């Protein structure tokens, strides 16, 4: 089952069920007006949502055309946004870029922070910044959305609380990261709003490619219509999503609608490219002695997507243009 949220002038938008091929959709106000409402009542509304999904996939009844340009983020605002760094190759490279090393504890204890969840951008919304000097970067990641998660859940049981999966562009302002982290209190200004994929999908839609808490598909990232990275998301993920959820729930419950990110997808080696620009820059520094890749500029276009074996888009594409406020057109 695939779910999306349409912009309708309200903060939380309108929930729609979307066909597997991302061509048709249907609003379901009698079941749930918003995705958060559906997550709050998941056991009660799931059969009805699944029935609508089956009808859409069968094409037996009229439906509206699905247009990602009409989409808000599936969860335009969420109760919680937690982002991990489970791809340790990315962690090592970015810490090296800041002149540091990866502590041994990172191998046994996940790195995670709580980000701003009051606004998620839609998949076609502009990436807005006040200056290119801030070092605007993209980060292509996988996200899961949970139901209610009990305190102290173990990693295996935690996977049973995954309701939906999707993609996120976790925008980072690299010029603010180092001075902000030097204060010892975490990200705030260096982490503006992130963008979610047009649809989120239930785990069963992914078949055998969702296994052992990892999504074994290629993350496709392009910049200005040129390939930037094609890493396999199932490789190099040191902590799977069950472990990440259990880490977050070690001392508190998680509420339905919690969004949890994998961290930037990253494979060892240069041949598959990268999912963020700072990683490209560090690889250049190590390989050639200097950083050549610039951060995002006004007018740059970022696209993030995953496909199935037949080349069909699983979540729809995050397709954003960078807009620097005050920049010349």
Tokens linked to 51:
């029935």
Nearest residue to 308 (alpha-carbon basis) of 222, 215, 238:
215
pLDDT tens profile 253-282: 999 999 999 999 999 989 999 999 999 999
Give residue 327's pLDDT.
64
Q: Concatenated DSSP letters for 156-183?
A: HHHGGGEEEEEEEE--EEHHHHHHHHTT
* pLDDT above 90: residue 190: yes
Q: Is the pTM of this model over 0.85?
A: yes
Dist CA 35 CA 12 (whole Å): 8
Give residue 101's pLDDT.
80
Give residue 107's pLDDT.
86
Return mean pLDDT, the chain: 95
Of 100 and 120, more confident: 120
For residue 306, the Cα-to-chain-centroid distance in whole angstroms is 11
* pLDDT above 60: residue 200: yes
Percent of the chain's residues with pLDDT above 90: 87
Give residue 321's pLDDT.
98
Please, what is the Cα angle at 153 between 36 and 142, to 5 degrees?
50
Confidence of residue 97 (pLDDT cuts 50, 70, 90): low
* pLDDT above 60: residue 184: yes
Give residue 6's pLDDT.
98
Domains of the chain: 2-70 (no CATH), 80-324 (3.90.850.10)
Give residue 99's pLDDT.
72
Give the mean model confidence (pLDDT) for residues 301-327: 95
Of 241 and 178, more confident: 241
Give the mean model confidence (pLDDT) for residues 202-208: 97
Give residue 286's pLDDT.
84
Give residue 76's pLDDT.
98
* pLDDT above 80: residue 48: yes
pLDDT tens profile 56-83: 999 988 999 999 999 999 999 999 999 9
Dist CA 136 CA 146 (whole Å): 29
Give residue 292's pLDDT.
95
Give the mean model confidence (pLDDT) for residues 36-53: 98
Per-residue b or e along 9-20, where b marks 16 or more CB atoms closer than 10 Å to that residue's CB? eeebbbbbbbbb
* pLDDT above 60: residue 329: no
Task: Name the DSSP letter for residue 107.
Answer: G
* pLDDT above 90: residue 210: yes
Give residue 328's pLDDT.
58
């Amino acid at each position: 089952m695939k779910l999306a949220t349409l912009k309708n002038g309200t903060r939380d938008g309108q929930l729609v069920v979307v066909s597997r091929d991302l061509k048709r959709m249907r609003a379901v106000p009698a079941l749930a007006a918003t995705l958060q409402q559906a997550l709050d009542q998941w056991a009660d509304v799931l059969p009805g949502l699944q029935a609508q999904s089956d009808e859409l996939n069968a094409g037996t009844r009229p439906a509206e055309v699905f247009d990602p340009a009409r989409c808000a983020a599936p969860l335009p605002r969420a109760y919680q946004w937690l982002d991990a760094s489970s791809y340790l190759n990315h962690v090592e490279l970015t810490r090296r870029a800041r002149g540091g090393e990866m502590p041994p504890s990172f191998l046994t204890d996940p790195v995670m922070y709580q980000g701003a969840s009051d606004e998620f951008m839609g998949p076609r919304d502009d990436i807005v910044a006040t200056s290119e000097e801030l070092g605007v970067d993209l980060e292509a990641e996988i996200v899961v959305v949970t139901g209610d998660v009990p305190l102290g859940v173990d990693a295996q049981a935690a996977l049973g609380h995954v309701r939906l999966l999707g993609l996120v562009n976790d925008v980072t302002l690299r010029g603010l990261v180092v001075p902000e982290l030097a204060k010892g209190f975490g990200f705030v200004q260096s982490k503006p709003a992130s963008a979610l994929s047009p649809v989120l999908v239930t785990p069963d839609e992914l078949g055998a490619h969702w296994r052992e808490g990892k999504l074994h598909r290629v993350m496709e990232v392009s910049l200005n219509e040129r390939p930037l990275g094609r890493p396999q998301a199932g490789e190099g993920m040191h902590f799977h999503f069950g472990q990440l959820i259990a880490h977050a729930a070690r001392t508190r419950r998680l509420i339905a609608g919690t969004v949890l990110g994998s961290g930037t997808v990253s494979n060892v080696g240069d041949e598959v490219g990268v999912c963020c620009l700072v990683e490209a820059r560090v690889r250049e520094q190590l390989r050639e002695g200097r950083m050549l890749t610039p951060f995002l500029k006004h007018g740059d276009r970022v696209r993030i997507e995953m496909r199935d074996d037949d080349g069909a888009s699983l979540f729809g594409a995050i397709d954003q243009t960078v807009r620097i406020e005050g920049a010349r057109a």
